Each structure stands twice: as C-alpha cells, then as structure tokens.
C-alpha cells in the first residue's frame, strides 16, 4: 500500500514546502504532477469496479454502435466503443479517463489560494477511492470541477456545457446544474430559463426511460453503501468551517452563495443516508469539491486565529489519518490492496 502513501506524501510535501510562498506552482510542475497521478490511476489493475469495467469493455465485441448508444452514460460508452474498435487495450480507456479526471481536478485546485493543500484533501477519497473505483463518476467529477471553475469566472453557459458532458459520463452529475443558478447576482431570469431548458435537454438525452430504473436501483431497493455516513460527514465538516468563517469568506472571495448551497445540501445528506444510503453516497460525491475549496482557503480564512503553517499541518495530519484509517479498516479496501500496475506487474 506504499503507492497510496506516496500519492499522499507528494501532495502533502507540496502543501508544507509552499507555505507562505507564491500562490501557484509553475505549469510545468503541475504537468508532471498530473502525469504522475495518471500513471498510477490510469494503468492500475486493481480498485473498486475495475474488473466489472474490464468485463463490460470486453463485452463490446458483441455490441453494435446502436446498441451501445441505447444504454445510459453515452459519453463513457461511446469512448469505450471507440477505444475498443481502434484495437487499443482496456488500459488505454482507463488512462484516458484518468487524464480527464485529473485535468478537471488540477484546473480546479490551481484556482485556490493554496492549491497543494486542496490537493491534499483529494488524495484519500476523491483520487484513490473515486478515481480508482468509480471510473465513470470520476470523469464526471473532473468535468464538474472544471465547470465550477468556469462558473467562478462568470461563464455560466460554459458551466452548463461542461455539466452536460459530465452527465454523459454519469447521469447523476445533472444534479449540479441546479446549483449554478445561485452563483451570479445578475440575470437570474435568463439563467433560470436556460437552466430549465438545459435540464430538459440533458434529461431527454442522457436519462430518458432510465429514470425509473435509477430511482428503483438506488432508493427503493434500499441499497446500502458501506461508509456512506462517514463520507457524507467528510463533506459536512468543511460546511461547518464555511459557515463559521462566512464573514471572512465574503470579504476575500466572491462565491459564497454557491458554496453555501453545496454546504446546505451536504447537511441534508447526513439526514437522508439512513433512507437511501447508496443514492445519497453517490450524489454526495459531487459535493467533494467543497472539501477542496474550504481547506485550500482555510489558512486565509483562519489567519486571525491561527498561522497559515498551523492550519496547513492540521489539514495534512487529518487527511493522513483518514487515508490510514481507510487503507487499514475500510470494508472494501482489499480491492485496492495490493496495488497492481499493468505496465509493471509485480513491481508494486
């Protein structure tokens, strides 16, 4: 499991060494960092649903393009079909998905005051569990974070477009478009009209008749997702920080309203877990960016009470504990351990 600790310590070292230094690393550094994570994520032969995805990839030999497009999550299925019929291996598909996921993440964290500290908050769960376990939803999350970055720049329609792409990889991503309407202060009526039109188009294109099946599979069958309460709690804790430092947030940043709505949704998720654990768990994945944005800004928000270095060491320590607890005690962590890489089988 040393590979997972290495992934964490790379981010932690960046956060600690860059205390009180300039805001962003050189682009070249982030390119190298992205390649490092894509290599580990994209060429893995372990983790979560890896074997299920492999089985589905091989099953493409029996499907026509029309049959592939009849199912949901058309973006992922179309990409899979293209890769398969180019004669490329499954590792090509996982590497492309890893690259898409990491691109959105890096774009998002680099917009934060302390991007390395934001990255620290992603390694234990977002990168290791989601990106290496839920491949389709991992790509969707990458596009969602990219979309949020565009929204913060005032690019509402780019936000809608990127959420639509995310929804093509996992239909549940459509929920995030509802939060975009709260981001701006002007043009609310126009945005509301656009919101309704976009939601209708995405629903028809990507969900269609599968909506009933989605509800039945995730809610009516009461599927239980191990650790759902813990993971929703991880989103709730930064929500507390957001509300506690709301005055400072409004003073230094312009996106309080958007993140306030995400925080409220995170609180609601806590109370819904016992009714539909898996559904809430999957939806809560899209609230993970709240952890990134809060902890990356916490040294700024809390600097009147604590030094930036103290806050940084605190966040690094807490997420190290989370990572260690998950690797050693999580019910499903055996899917990840030992780490296996297709290119260097047996090395790890």
Q: pLDDT tens digit string along 95-114?
A: 999 999 999 999 999 999 99
Condensed to tens digits (0 to 9), the pLDDT of residues 38-92 reads 999 999 999 888 999 999 999 888 888 888 877 778 899 999 999 999 999 999 9
Give the 3-state secondary structure of residue 341.
strand
- Least trusted range by pLDDT, from 137-146, 183-192, 280-289: 183-192
Rounded average pLDDT over 136-159: 93
Gap between the Cα atoms of 97 and 138, Å rounded: 8
Maximum average pLDDT range among 195-199, 202-206, 231-235: 231-235
Q: For the stretch 25-48, what's the b/e string if a residue is b when 16 or more beta carbons lie within 10 angstroms of its beta carbon?
A: beeeebeebbeebbebbbbbbbbb
Gap between the Cα atoms of 141 and 169, Å rounded: 9
Asked whether the predicted pLDDT for residue 188 surpasses 80, the reply is no
Is residue 191 within 8 Å of residue 161, measured between CB atoms? no
Mean pLDDT, the chain, whole residue set: 85
Cis peptide leading into residue 327 (ω within 30°): no
- Cβ burial, residue 17 (10 Å; 0-12/13-18/19+): exposed
Domain boundaries, the chain: 2-208+223-335
The token pair at 88 is 């490329």
Gap between the Cα atoms of 218 and 271, Å rounded: 16
pLDDT, residue 203, reads: 57
């Amino acid at each position: 499991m040393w590979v997972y600790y290495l992934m964490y310590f790379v981010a932690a070292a960046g956060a600690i060494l860059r205390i009180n230094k300039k805001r962003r690393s050189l682009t070249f550094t982030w390119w190298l960092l992205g390649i490092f994570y894509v290599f580990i994520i994209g060429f893995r032969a372990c983790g979560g649903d890896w074997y299920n995805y492999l089985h589905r990839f091989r099953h493409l030999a029996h499907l026509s393009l029309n049959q592939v497009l009849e199912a949901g999550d058309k973006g992922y299925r179309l990409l899979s079909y293209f890769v398969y019929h180019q004669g490329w291996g499954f590792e090509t598909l996982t590497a492309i998905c890893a690259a898409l996921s990491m691109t959105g993440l890096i774009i998002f964290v680099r917009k934060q005051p302390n991007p390395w500290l934001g990255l620290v908050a992603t390694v234990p769960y977002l990168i290791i569990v989601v990106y290496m376990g839920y491949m389709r939803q991992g790509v969707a999350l990458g596009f969602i974070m990219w979309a949020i970055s565009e929204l913060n720049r005032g690019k509402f329609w780019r936000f809608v477009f990127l959420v639509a792409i995310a929804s093509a990889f996992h239909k549940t991503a459509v929920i995030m478009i509802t939060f975009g309407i709260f981001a701006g202060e002007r043009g609310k009526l126009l945005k509301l009209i656009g919101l309704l039109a976009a939601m209708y188009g995405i629903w028809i294109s990507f969900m269609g008749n599968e909506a009933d099946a989605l509800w039945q599979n995730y809610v009516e069958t009461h599927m239980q997702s191990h650790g759902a309460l813990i993971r929703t709690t991880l989103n709730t804790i930064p929500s507390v920080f957001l509300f506690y430092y709301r005055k400072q947030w409004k003073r230094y940043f312009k996106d309080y309203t958007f993140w306030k709505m995400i925080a409220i949704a995170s609180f609601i998720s806590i109370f819904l877990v016992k009714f539909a654990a898996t559904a809430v768990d999957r939806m809560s994945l899209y609230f993970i960016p709240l952890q990134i944005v809060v902890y990356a800004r916490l040294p700024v928000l809390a600097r009147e009470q604590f030094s930036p270095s103290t806050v940084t060491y605190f966040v690094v320590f807490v997420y190290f504990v989370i990572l260690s607890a998950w690797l050693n005690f999580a019910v499903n962590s055996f899917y990840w351990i030992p780490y296996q890489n297709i290119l260097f089988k047996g090395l790890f």
